[in-house]
Amino acid sequence: MCDLEVPDTYYSIEDYESSCARWCPGCGDHGILTAVQKLCREEQLPPEKTVFVSGIGCSSRFPHYMKTYGFHGLHGRAFPVASGVKFRRPDLDVFVVTGDGDCCSIGAGHWVHAIRYNINMVVLLFDNSIYGLTKKQTSPTSALGTKSNTHPRGSVLPPINPIQTTLGISNVSFVAQTTDWHPAHMYATIKKAHEHKGLSFVRIIQRCPIWMKGMNDTALNDPNAVTLLNHENGIELDPKVVKSFNNVIEHDPSDIHKAREYAELPNSVPVGLLYQNKNAYRYDEYGAHNLGMTNEERIAGINRNLDKYAV
Ligand SMILES: Cc1ncc(C[n+]2csc(CCOP(=O)(O)OP(=O)(O)O)c2C)c(N)n1
Ligand SMILES: [Mg+2]
């Protein structure tokens, strides 16, 4: 008999594509969507076992464009929804898609605790340094002096650096940074994040050609304005991709002190894996699935509790 080793089911890109993305032409979100769909295909993630959870924002429309399960939730609440999904259904692959407003502003409390809980999921922070959907309000990551509808004369506070903040949270286990205009690096970063067992936090610096036109021009055009953090335990890259970066620093991602130093480089955007700790505590390992109860026992327990409130 001839065995061609063809799998019974092979998922192609079309199996992950849903409705046509309605982001603006030139928006960095399109490239991120392509990278994520490619990851799903390369890893052959069953669409019915994959969930994208988001809050509110342009970026948070992401679940609509994936033919998987999805939850387009409430502003700032992607983390608790995703935590609940993963806690109860550890068999599902969970991704969180959140914007800089969604995560670092209204959702900041949930962000801190999600990092500490370290539940196994991939978090993609689409950071365009602005509230895009609501048409240009200052976000916590807007550079000082950014002119917006809330600060027409320029924002007055220095921005939060999301990777530095995440590195400061106890029990952090994976922090990486990439950009939407380095597709090979972005893809390899999301792949590494997906392999990590724990919460992988990936900040993707993302272009918004409508409200933040030109914001990333320096990083795009000046090869010195981006620095690759490279290491054998870091993001796996083709040597040709490494060569395309002018500035390369060898950085061991197990070194959190160096990670904090490299999170803020003067006049250069660091990209790469800043930090990984494979041994951080994982709250999902203490979930109900680990209590040794069968589904029937769990349902009986829920019913007993609900019966207390029966009238
Ligand atoms: C509770 C609540 N407050 C405010 C809003 C209005 N709102 C919708 S999206 C958004 C900001 C989105 O910015 P960001 O998360 O950066 O996403 P982007 O659109 O830039 O991708 C705000 C303030 C809302 N929908 N719900
Ligand atoms: Mg934004």
One-letter-per-residue 3-state SS of 154-179: CCCCCCCCHHHHHHCCCCCCEEEEEE
Please give the model's pTM, rounded to 2 decimal places: 0.93
- CA–CA gap between residue 95 and residue 217 (Å, rounded): 29
First to last CA, the chain: 66
Residue 289 has a pLDDT of: 59
- Specify the residue with its C-alpha closest to ligand 1, atom 7: 134
By the 8 A CB rule, do 159 and 145 touch? Answer: no
288 has pLDDT over 60 = no
Burial of 82 (0-12, 13-18, 19+ CB in 10 A): buried
Question: Is the C-beta atom of 75 inside 6 A of ligand 1?
Answer: yes
52 has pLDDT over 80 = yes
- The tens digit of pLDDT for each residue in 253-287 reads 999 999 999 999 999 999 999 999 999 999 988 76
Residue 287 has a pLDDT of: 67
Residue from 29, 75, 160, 207 whose mutation best tests the ligand 1 pocket (most atoms within 8 A of CB): 75
Residue 297 has a pLDDT of: 84
Average pLDDT of the residues in 112-139: 98
Strands 130-131 and 121-127: unpaired
294 has pLDDT over 90 = no
Which residues are bridge partners to 205 per DSSP? 127, 179
Token duo for residue 75: 């502003």
Question: Is the C-beta atom of 134 inside 6 A of ligand 1?
Answer: yes
Question: Mean of the per-residue pLDDT values for the chain?
Answer: 95
Least confident of 9-13, 153-157, 282-286: 282-286
For residue 171, report the distance from its CA to the centre of ligand 2, in Å.
Answer: 26
Token duo for residue 217: 């021009």
